[in-house]
Structure 1
Amino acid sequence: MKTINISCPIDQPLTDGPVVLALGFFDGVHIGHQRLIAEARSEADQKGLPLMVLTFDRHPKEVYAGVKNFAYLNSPDEKVYEMEKIGVDYLVIMQFTKQFSQLAPQDFVDRIIMKLQADTVVAGFDYTYGSKDVANMTNLPKFAKGRFAIKVLPKQIFEGQKIGSTEIREAIKKGDLTLATELLGHPYTTSGKVVHGFRNGHKLGYPTANLSMDWPKVLPKIGVYATMTRVKDRWYESMTSVGYNVMFNDEKQIYIESNLFDFDQDIYGETITIAWYKYLRNELKFASLDGLVAQLKQDRINAEAYFDQTVE
């Protein structure tokens, strides 16, 4: 797969000829997105054309609605990885600027879709390219003027639940990792570098890798989770806390701390990935350190029991 970062206007062709073009922001690259891209992949194969996906470097709401601290399901690198896995030939990442957000619908078609040499455009029923009252999929044929074919995918449903990035974000925030996994098609993951903490876990016999994220991603609700943590190319069963360290009177900053089972390596500065599987309990404040240690022991037992039952 070739990843191309561009801005508007597009000055020269990105490919040697026409493409099948899939449109969307694709945060999470969830099973609804996967179905859409599979449809575009099938269309591209039938026509003997490459498959191109057009997405943006940041969520449009950050620009046109002024939303600050938007929480994503994917970092840019994670999105690239997921797109490559599902057979995309060209991933085009457009800078979403204020100027770009003000393109008229006809200009978006003429200056973006046509410049990308779309033979066929594939998008979801709710895709917009401006004001949703005008720049919607119902009106796209009017702006296309017969220059490319259009395929529209209907609303995607999974067991009565809409498959959407918003729904997945809400599930993660509620700690419903089972639903999030079903809608994503894989466990939700969080990546970042291991940084020095206060070594409280180490003193208690449960050393943790403290995660610092370099991209604003959705966090599961406060609590302790059964997780898998990847160090380099190996996954380890683990339990991970999302919380304020209330036992040690630090209630201002949220920490992500992963205790890897049967692991004893110095990984400060390493990039690790945490895959979130199951919510185990809320964050608690204990009367004594002995009470905390006893709970940590039980948390590990509960996490290991979960993996024994569900993960081969």
Structure 2
Amino acid sequence: MKIIHLTYPVKENLIPSKIVLALGFFDGVHLGHQHLISVARDVAKKKSLPLAVMTFDRHPKEVYEKKANFAYIDSLDEKAFKMQQLGVDYLLVAAFTKKFSELNAQEFVDNVIVKLRPDTVVAGFDYTYGPKDVANMKNLPKFAQSRFNIIDVPKQTFDGKKIGSMEIKRAVRDGNMELAYELLGSHYVMSGTIGRGLRNGHKLGFPTANLVWKNKKVIPKIGVYATKTKIGGKWYDSMTSVGYNVTLNQSRRIYIESNLFGFNKEAYGQKMIIKWYKYTRGEIKFSGLQALKDQLKRDQKQIKAYFAKND
């Protein structure tokens, strides 16, 4: 898969052929997104054309509503990995600038979509490209002027409710990793590098790898989780704490620390990926380090039993 970063005005002939173009922001690349991409992929195969997906480098709300603290399910790297797994040929990442946000519906179609030379455009029923009362899927044929085919993908549901990024974010923040999995079709992931901590886990006999992650990721609810953690190209069953280290009276910043079962090496600076499986308990302020150590032993036993049963 090739990643192409788009700036406005969009250059012509970025891709050497006509394409099937899927439109959306695709945060999480959840089951609804996967269905839409599969529809587009089927069309691309029938027409022997490459499949391109267009997204933005930031959510439009960051610009329209000036939401500087907007949180994401996926980083761009995580989104790109999922797109590659789905058979996407080109991931087009448009810079969503203030100028871009001011395009009207006809300008967006003429100067962005048409410049990409789509044979067919595939988008969800609620896709918008400007003010939603005008720039919606119902009106897209009028703006398209028969220059490309249009496929409007209907709403996808789970348990009677729309599958959406907001529902997934809520599940992650609530610690409901099972629901997040059901909606995403995969486990919630956080990736980054291993940073230096205070080595309190080492002192207790439970060494941890401290995740340094990119800002603006959705942070799971404070507590302890059954997770799998990848370091050095290998996955390990693990228990991961999200919290403030209240027993040790550390500063009010959130730490994400994984104790990997069967791993006890120095790996500072290496890439680290955490898959979140199950919330097991909340954060507790213990009377001392021995009480904390005893609880960590119970946590480890519980999480090992969980993976023995569910792997």
Give me the whole-angstrom Cα distance separating, in 2, the residues matched to 1:260 and 1:305: 15
CA contact (8 A) 2:12 2:116 kept: no
Match of 2:168 in 1: 168
Q: Secondary structure at the match of 2:116?
A: coil
Residue 158 of structure 1 and its aligned partner are, at CA, apart by 1.6
Q: Distance in 2 between matches of 1:4 and 1:73?
A: 21
Residue type at the aligned position of 1:25? F
Mapped pair 1:185 → 2:185: yes
Partners of 1:172 and 1:218 within 8 A in 2: yes
The yes-or-no answer on 1:226 pairing with 2:226 is: yes
Partner of 2:305: 305
CA apart distance, 1:288: 2.0
Paired residues for 1:126-145 under 5 Å: 126-145=126-145
Q: Give yes or no for the alignment of 1:113 onto 2:113.
A: yes
Q: SS at the partner of 1:141? A: helix
Partner Cα distance (2:79, 2:247) in 1: 37
The runs of at least 4 consecutive aligned structure 1 residues that moved more than 6 Å come to none
Q: How does 1:1-312 map to 2 (within 5 A)?
A: 1-311=1-311
Alignment partner of 2:259: what SS? strand
Write the distance in 1 (CA, Å) between the matches of 2:89 and 2:199: 45
> SS in structure 2 opposite 1:107?
helix
User: Is the 2:244–2:255 contact (alpha carbons within 8 Å) kept by the matching residues of 1?
Assistant: yes
**How many aligned residue pairs are there?**
311
- Aligned-partner SS, 2:32: helix
**Residues 45-102 of structure 1: CA distance to partner in whole angstroms, max 9, x if unpaired?**
1112111111111111111110012111111111111111101111111100000000
- The secondary structure found in structure 1 opposite 2:80 is helix
Note if contact 1:193-1:272 (Cα within 8 Å) is conserved in structure 2.
Answer: yes
Q: 1:75·1:215 contact (CA, 8 Å) conserved in 2?
A: no
Contact 1:224 1:281 survives alignment (8 Å): yes
Q: CA deviation at 1:251?
A: 4.6
Unmatched runs of 5 consecutive residues or more in structure 1: none
How far does residue 142 in structure 1 lie from its aligned partner after superposition? 0.9
Deviation, structure 1 residue 103: 0.2
What SS does the aligned partner of 2:38 have?
helix
Amino acid at match of 1:266: E
- In 2: Cα distance, 1:29 partner to 1:50 partner: 19
Deviation at 1:11, TM superposition (A): 2.3
Cα distance, 1:215 vs structure 2: 3.9
In the TM superposition, what is the alpha-carbon distance from 1:285 to its structure 2 partner? 0.4
Between stretches 10-19 and 66-75, larger displacement belongs to: 10-19
TM-score between both structures, scaled by the size of structure 2 = 0.98
Q: What amino acid sits opposite 2:248 in the alignment?
A: F
Deviation, structure 1 residue 271: 1.1
CA contact (8 A) 1:244 1:251 kept: yes
Matched to 2:134, the amino acid is: V
Distance in 2 of aligned mates of 1:158 and 1:54: 25
Q: Tell me the distance in 1 between the aligned counterparts of 2:232 and 2:153.
A: 38
Pair 192,152 (structure 1): closer, same or farther in 2 beyond 3 Å = same
Letter in 1 for 2:150: I
CA shift digits 1:129-168 (9 cap, x unpaired) = 0011110101111111111111111111022232111110
Q: Which sections of structure 2, spanning at least 5 residues, go unmatched?
A: none
Q: CA deviation at 1:36?
A: 0.2
User: 1:246-273 deviations in whole A, cap 9, x for unaligned?
Assistant: 0011251000010111111111111100
Give the Cα–Cα distance (whole angstroms) in 2 for the partners of residues 251 and 174 of structure 1: 23
Q: 2: CA distance between counterparts of 1:233 and 1:193?
A: 13
Letter of the 1:283 counterpart: E
1-structure distance, mates of 2:162, 2:27: 15
